[in-house]
Structures are given as structure tokens and as C-alpha cells.
Amino acid sequence: MGVRRLVINVRVVFLFLLLWIFSVQTLPAEERGKVRERMVREPVFGGQVLIQEAGRKGNPPLVLIHGLGDLASGTWQGLLPQLARVYHVVTFDLPGFGRSQKQNSLYSPGNYATFVKWVVDTFIGGAPIVVGHSLGGAIALRYAGTYPEALTRLVLIDVAGVLDRRVYTKEMLGVLAENFSVPSSVDSFLGNMVGGLPNPLFDLDLMLDNDLLRQQLLGGDPEKIAAIALIQEDFSPYLFRIKAPTAILWGEHDRVTPMRTGVLLEANLPEAVLRIIPGAGHMPMDEQPRLFAAAFSEALQGDYRPAARPVQGGQRAGRCEGTSGMVFEGDYESLEIVDCRDVHLRDIRARSVTLRRSTAVFDGGEISGGEVGLRAEGSTLTANGLKISAPTAVAASGSRLDLAGVRLSGKQAAVVSGGRLQLFFSVSRIDSPHGSGTIHGLREMAAGEEL
């Protein structure tokens, strides 16, 4: 009798075990789609924060980081049911936003990256895929560069910041000058308060670090504090430490975060691919939900790779003189651009490039093999993700060079100035006898000076 009861009990336990396994595998169509919420106290800013989870623990972990504004984690709500079928999703209202506690604290990318690490350690325990949009993209970058082993993949969407403050706010002022309707009050705030001021009337870092000044000048407003801290951040010490494969998604018509940021990230991050969402602006998940969902799914799974670049002959010489709007692509022995406007050089490869009294934009590409890689005289140049390697990488005079994610390598010098020269570096690198390492910010050079 005792044996029979034991057998029955074993069968009952086994039956309940089967029912539990069955429920875990089949019922989660409803359960996994539900968002589990909790308010907890976090240790970085010392306040209450809203944490949200969806999907089954044990699935691949996925962390979603939102951008500026009190929409907060609502940014991801339309995507959560589908994501929860495959991933263990963890998202949150960043401290200072949404339903999380708002305080007069330093809401900087560095502090937010520390907060994300606490979330990962507390609610996941392993290396997740990390996704960030806008400000969240900047936080994801800082997290990936600070803790390069603590994620498996990085997905960046319309990343804010990264460019030098003077460059970013100048672009924002251009948008405002065109009477374009900017979808964030904070971006208008940046354009009006900070934009275009190379020498601010007060020390922004001093203001950010001081509780009283943050309260007096910014009203202790987390959104304003986070926006100012973002444009003050220098990402160059972290960008080049990132190891995780990276996917970059960008709205085709985003006027809040310039697409050149995506170009420079693609050129400098591991296995990076930039994918444009047609017809979308700064919120592609809302503006083109179907296109975004498809691209996002591929980004999470790593289903697309950089396209192979066709090999072309490099013996041709390219020239532009007295015209505007010309486009150069492919391989060249040399390129000469004289008295031209709005020239676009896309992923070019050349031994040397010369600009005289011209304006031009480089997106990607490489200049190497000549004695001087790039010459610029009386010209305005914008370069994103360009690599230049030569005995003298750049020789310029009377010019303004805006260099974002650019790598300059010169056996004699990275830059030689033949006259007054203004250089705006954003998350770039130089290597020369005069110094090597990352460089970010404004450099003004007089004739005869070298970098």
C-alpha cells in the first residue's frame, strides 16, 4: 500500500511538473507579453526608479534605454509584445524621467551608464544586448565603452550628442533658423541657450557639478540637466574601447540628431552597419513602425553585415572647378577641387586630395599613399569617419575643418598649419611625433604650428 501511494504521489508530482513545463512554454503568449513593473530604490542617484520586465527569464537578455522626455520607457511599448516572445526584456524610466523620481542631480551619461550597469547586475546577471535611442543611444555608447565585456551586441538609434558641443549646437541653430519644427522642447532649449556660444558666459561643467547652480540656472530640471550634460560629454575615451558588434539605425529625415553621427559611428565601431529608415525622422519606431520593426529585428539578431566594397582601379584623377553639387565616389589617384561648392565625397579612396576655396563633405573613405594626404586652402571641410595616413596627413591654411570620427596618422605631422586654421574635432584620433591619442574639441592653429 505504501509503495502504491508512493507511485501515485510520484505520478502526481510528475503530472504537475509536466503541466508547469507546458504552461511555461505555451501560456507565455499572454504572460510574456505582459509588462511586469516595480518601483525600486537605485543606488546611483539615490531615488525611486520604475523598472519594467517582459518575456521569460532565461531568454536572451535585452536592455532598452529611452531618450529625453517623459514618454520615457513608453518609447518601447509598441515593440514589447513582439520582443517578449524571444527576449527577456528589461527597460526602465531613467532616473529623472517618466514615473521615476525627479531630483536635482547630475544626470550625466557617465552616471547613467553606472545606473545601467546596476540594472544589468541586479535584474539580468549576464551580458545583454543593449539598445539606446537618442540620449539613450549616448548612454548605451558610454556603457559599452566603460564596460566593454558587459554586453553582447549594441544597437544605436538616432544617437544624440557625440559631436563636439560647438558643432552640434551650430547644426541645431541651423535647423531653428530654417523654422523647422523641432519635436523636443529640450532641443529648442539647447539651441537658444547654449548653441553657437564657443565661450559660454558661465562654466557649464561648474554649473553641472554644483547643486546650487543647477537649481538657480536650470531650476533643478532633470531634462535640462541631462541635455546640458550630454553636449558637454567627451565620448572619445570610450568610443574606441567598444568591442561589441554594433548596428546603427537612423531616420532618413532626422533633423534633431544629424546623420553624420551615424556615419562616424559606422566608421569607428566594431562590425558596425548603418541602416537608414526611409521616411522617418527622429522617432522611427513611431513614424515608420513596420520598416523600423523589420530593421530592428535584423539588428538584434545581427542578420546584416557591411556590404563588400567593390575593388576599382585607382589610377584616375578627379577634378572639380567652378561648379557646385558634384559627387565623387570610388578610387582615385588624386582629387583636386577648386572654387567649388557643396562637393560630396562618399567613401572615396585616394592618394591625395586638394581643396582650394571650396566647401566639401567627406562621408567615410580613406586618403593614403601621398606625401600630403589632404591639402586645404581657404576652404571649409566637413569630414565624417575619414581616415588619412601620410607623412603629413593634413596641410591647411585659412580654412575651417570640422572633423568627426576622423583618424589622422602622420609620420611627420598629423596637421601642419600654413596660416590661420580652425579645427573642430569630435571623437577623433591622431597619431604623430607630436602626440597620439583621442582628440575632441576646438583647436586653433597659427602659421607654422603642427599637431
Per-residue model confidence as pLDDT tens digits over 294-308? 999 999 998 766 655
Beta bridge partners of residue 36, listed in sequence order: 53
Contact assessment for residue 87 and residue 62, using Cβ atoms and an 8 Å cutoff: yes
Element (H, E) at 95: none
Element (H, E) at 264: helix 260-268
Instruction: Single out the residue of 313, 396, 297, 378 nearest to residue 349, CA to CA.
Output: 313
Q: What was the pLDDT predicted at 197?
A: 38
Per-residue pLDDT of the chain (451 residues; tens, 9 = 90+): 444 443 334 343 333 333 232 333 333 444 545 889 999 999 999 999 999 999 999 999 999 999 998 899 999 999 999 999 999 999 999 999 999 999 999 999 999 999 999 999 999 999 999 999 999 999 999 999 999 999 999 999 999 999 998 887 766 555 444 444 444 433 444 443 444 333 444 688 899 999 999 999 999 999 999 999 999 999 999 999 999 999 999 999 998 898 999 999 999 998 899 999 999 999 999 999 999 999 999 999 987 666 555 555 557 899 999 999 999 999 999 999 999 999 999 999 999 999 999 999 999 999 999 999 999 999 999 999 999 999 999 999 999 999 999 999 999 999 999 999 999 999 999 999 999 999 999 999 999 999 9
Q: What was the pLDDT predicted at 167?
A: 85
Classify each residue of 111-139 as buried b or exposed e, where b means 16 or more C-beta atoms within 10 Å of its C-beta.
Answer: bbbbbbeebbeebbeeebbbbbbbbbbbb
Q: What was the pLDDT predicted at 20?
A: 30
Contact assessment for residue 116 and residue 65, using Cβ atoms and an 8 Å cutoff: yes
Domain boundaries, the chain: 1-26, 32-163+233-301, 317-445
CATH (residue range 32-163+233-301): 3.40.50.1820
Give pLDDT tens digits for 87-133.
999 999 999 999 999 999 999 999 999 999 999 999 999 999 999 99
Contact assessment for residue 38 and residue 54, using Cβ atoms and an 8 Å cutoff: no
Give pLDDT tens digits for 27-41.
344 454 588 999 999
CATH class of 317-445: mainly beta
Contact assessment for residue 282 and residue 183, using Cβ atoms and an 8 Å cutoff: yes
Grid coordinates given for 144: 559599452
Grid coordinates given for 218: 536650470
Q: What was the pLDDT predicted at 256?
A: 87
Q: What was the pLDDT predicted at 9?
A: 42
Cβ contacts of residue 170 below 8 Å, gap of 6+? 195, 196
N-terminal to C-terminal alpha carbon distance within the chain: 92
